[in-house]
Amino acid sequence: MRFLRTSSAALVVASAWLSGCGDRPDHWDKTVELPVKQLGLTGSVAVVDPSLDRVLMLGVASGQNLVSTPLGVGKNIVTAVASPDRGTLFVLSRGVQPRRNPEDERPSLTVIDGGLEPKRLARYSLTDPLQGLAIDPEGEWAVVFDAGGIVVNPNELILVNLKDAKAEPLSKTIRSFGGRPERLTFTSELAVPNGAPRRLLIVETGQDVTLVDLSAPTSDEVTIPLPKTPTGQPGKPAQVDFHDGDPDDPTDARIAIRLANDPNVMLAELGTPPSNEDKPFRVTLNVADVGGVPSDIAFVQTDGGLRLAALVPSGYRATLVDPSTTVTETVAFERPYSRLTRVTDSVTNKPIQSDVALLWSNSAVGVAFWSLGKTSGTPFRSVDPYDIGISVARVTNVPGDKYAHLKILESASAPEFYILDLDKRQSFPMLTNASGFTLDVSPDGERAWALRPGTPDFASITLSDLHPTSLTVERDVSAVHELARRDGGRAVLAIHAVYRDGHGALGATVLDALAPDTAKSRFYPGLMFGGLR
């Protein structure tokens, strides 16, 4: 630490002193509410500052030189979401509500480049203050939904074409039979019988599922009713998955719907419409009973063809459903695995025809590799359990291709986590000195960062050799973010949040991510004060 080193108490004092000054814009007197939302992006860390209707984009120019770029967003920030690749930030604002003057700001969606040179890419003005934001993992669409006003249309979706910054957002009200959008899923491109392959937006409401054709968002959507539960209650979607089917067959794309508290899974096939209709597809439905309430579903490839795998932890098994016939086969497990992660693409030597899945559960110790090939008499090749000593609450992918074969397995309570090597089928325990830590994998996929929030201790784990480097800074840390430096290096920001006497303050310690050394770090106080120069 060098000349900028100071104490958190000093931060608060400075803040209090500043708040007593007069003849300055009101926003200087606004307090910082903690916790402050931070999002780690590829080349910057976004700190959401609702008090000043802005986002502070923290970057590192070189060495430990922190650069702050404030970017104004709409008034009354509702939510901020990073794109899955952490390259873009989306900020949804309500604007001034209720609007009393024509100049009063409308709701908006602001799109910010999260790279080395943060800047506002686009700002879309919206007509209604909505609260929900769904981001297309392929970066083509953002959908704003979930109205919350005096008179609301909960079934209105605002579709924003992210590929065209000048495009007007499209308003679309989906049919309602009493439900309202709760969860949105963007499909990959699916082949359909009539017309070019297209992507769909799957909207789950409380009692049905709606398909919106993203190639023609204003065309009529398709509403899929759900079966009643065994108790006669209206069915409620709990999860969806999709699959394009045979690449050469445009009539076999399917969507699977898991239902809450229901042993049935629903299959919707995008089949050929009647000859007298010009619709791109016609949905035909089928329902398969998987023998118990499933906790997770996923389409998987087996040597016998595509199957929908449904995990039934109460039965210590999975059920494989042939989507074309709904014939089911069961696979017994030694443990009640409740979650399934398809890892086929993460394995260096990918199976040619069938998938490999990782089975895990928050309530059962261990994981298993499920090879979904087929041997005579069994619908799978093998289920290999691995005792790792913890139950797994979260499986984190490693970005990029280099270490994609590694998965980080976290427990909800254990003071350890595991790095699982899918290629070698080996798991490496990483012990921490206490439970309650958080893990974050760097955007470049080279390192993981472990932190116990509220303590000054954190550590990096180099994924190439699994070498941990423990670090202790002078102040308690609330979050750690690794980002690219503008000089080509990489930095890590340890964010400090302090709250005293009704005022919050934010500071950061900057270290070199490639060679983290507290002796070569720099502390920056007062990040929310209005910018660093």
Partner 1 sequence: MNALKTVAALGVLGSLLAPLGACGSSDDSAASGAPSDGGGGGFPGTGGSGAASGGSTMSDSGPPPPPPEQEVESSFRAPVTTGRYVWSANPDSGRVALIDAVTLELTIAEAGFGPTYLAALSPADDDDSDAAIVLNVLSHDATVFRRKAGGGLDTLTLPTHQGANSWAVSHDGSWAIAWTDAARIEKPDPTDGFQDVTVLSLTPGKESSTRLSVGYRPTSVVIAQDAKRAFAITEPGISVIALSAAPSVTALFEVTDDPLADPASRDVSVTPDGALALVRRDGSSAVGFVDLETGARTERPLGGPITDLDLHPDGKIALAVVREKSELWVLPIPEAQTDPSAGDMLAIPTETFGSVSASEDGSTALLFTNATPNDRLSIVDLRAGADYLTHRTVSIKSPVLAVFPAADGQHALALGTVPQSSTKQGAFSVIPTTKLLSPKVVGTDAPPVAVALSPAPTTRGLIAIRDEQKKKYGVYVARMPSLQVDLIPLASPPLSTGMLPQAKRGYVAQKHPEGRITFIDLEDGSARTLTGFELGAKVVD
Taking the least distance from each CB to partner 1, the nearer of 118 and 250 is 250
Minimum distance, C-beta of residue 282 to partner 1, in the bound complex (Å): 7
How far is the C-alpha of 6 from the C-alpha of 32, rounded, in Å?
A: 19
Taking the least distance from each CB to partner 1, the nearer of 156 and 457 is 156
Part of the chain binding partner 1 (CB under 8 A), chosen from 69-77, 153-161, 323-331, 495-503: 323-331
The single residue listed with the structure tokens 């502390």 is 523
- Which 451-510 residues touch partner 1, going by CB under 8 A? none
Query: Closest Cα partner for 133 from 73, 188, 176?
Result: 73
Taking the least distance from each CB to partner 1, the nearer of 262 and 440 is 262
Among 31, 171, 314, 326, binds partner 1 (CB under 8 A): 326
* Distant-in-sequence, close-in-space partners of 311: CB < 8 Å, separation ≥ 6: 294, 295, 296, 297, 318, 337, 338, 339, 340, 359
The single residue listed with the structure tokens 């699959």 is 243
How far is the C-alpha of 60 from the C-alpha of 484, rounded, in Å?
A: 8
- What string of DSSP letters covers 455-521? EEEEEEEETTTTEEEEEEEEEEESEEEEEE-TTS-EEEEEEEEEEETTEEEEEEEEEESSS--GGG-
Beta partners for residue 290, in sequence order? none
Binding mask 249-288 for partner 1 (x = CB under 8 A): ---------------x-x-------x----x--xxxxxxx
Minimum distance, C-beta of residue 157 to partner 1, in the bound complex (Å): 17
Run of H or E including 9: helix 8-19
Among 35, 72, 225, 531, binds partner 1 (CB under 8 A): 225
- Which 8-27 residues touch partner 1, going by CB under 8 A? none
Query: Closest Cα partner for 120 from 73, 166, 162, 161?
Result: 73
Number of residues that bind partner 1 (CB under 8 A): 30
* Residue 292 in contact with partner 1, rule: CB under 8 A: no
Minimum distance, C-beta of residue 187 to partner 1, in the bound complex (Å): 17
Among 63, 139, 227, 305, binds partner 1 (CB under 8 A): 227
Neighbours of 131 (CB within 10 A): 15
Among 78, 82, 147, 222, binds partner 1 (CB under 8 A): 222
Taking the least distance from each CB to partner 1, the nearer of 211 and 483 is 211
Helices (H) and strands (E) in the chain, counts: 1, 40
Run of H or E including 14: helix 8-19
Part of the chain binding partner 1 (CB under 8 A), chosen from 55-63, 135-143, 215-223, 242-250: 215-223
Taking the least distance from each CB to partner 1, the nearer of 79 and 324 is 324
Angle at 130 between CA 128 and CA 132, to 5 degrees: 155
Taking the least distance from each CB to partner 1, the nearer of 265 and 392 is 265
State both tokens at 503. 């005022």
Among 7, 131, 215, 223, binds partner 1 (CB under 8 A): 223
Minimum distance, C-beta of residue 447 to partner 1, in the bound complex (Å): 48
Among 1, 18, 224, 393, binds partner 1 (CB under 8 A): 224
Among 55, 91, 92, 226, binds partner 1 (CB under 8 A): 226
Query: Closest Cα partner for 47 from 8, 91, 104?
Result: 91
Among 125, 233, 325, 433, binds partner 1 (CB under 8 A): 325
Taking the least distance from each CB to partner 1, the nearer of 123 and 279 is 279
* Distant-in-sequence, close-in-space partners of 268: CB < 8 Å, separation ≥ 6: 209, 211, 224, 254, 255, 256, 257, 283, 284, 285
Taking the least distance from each CB to partner 1, the nearer of 114 and 237 is 237
- Which 231-250 residues touch partner 1, going by CB under 8 A? 232
Query: Closest Cα partner for 110 from 167, 72, 148?
Result: 72
* Residue 203 in contact with partner 1, rule: CB under 8 A: no
* Residue 289 in contact with partner 1, rule: CB under 8 A: yes
Run of H or E including 66: strand 66-72
Minimum distance, C-beta of residue 173 to partner 1, in the bound complex (Å): 14
Query: Is the separation of the CB atoms in 158 and 143 below 8 Å?
Result: yes
Minimum distance, C-beta of residue 401 to partner 1, in the bound complex (Å): 40
Q: What's the per-residue H, E or C state across 397-429?
A: ECCCCCCCCEEEEECCCCCEEEEEECCCCEEEE
Taking the least distance from each CB to partner 1, the nearer of 106 and 258 is 258
How far is the C-alpha of 425 from the C-alpha of 386, rounded, in Å?
A: 9
Taking the least distance from each CB to partner 1, the nearer of 5 and 228 is 228
Minimum distance, C-beta of residue 313 to partner 1, in the bound complex (Å): 18
Binding site for partner 1 (CB under 8 A): 175, 220-228, 230, 232, 264, 266, 274, 279, 282-289, 291, 324-328
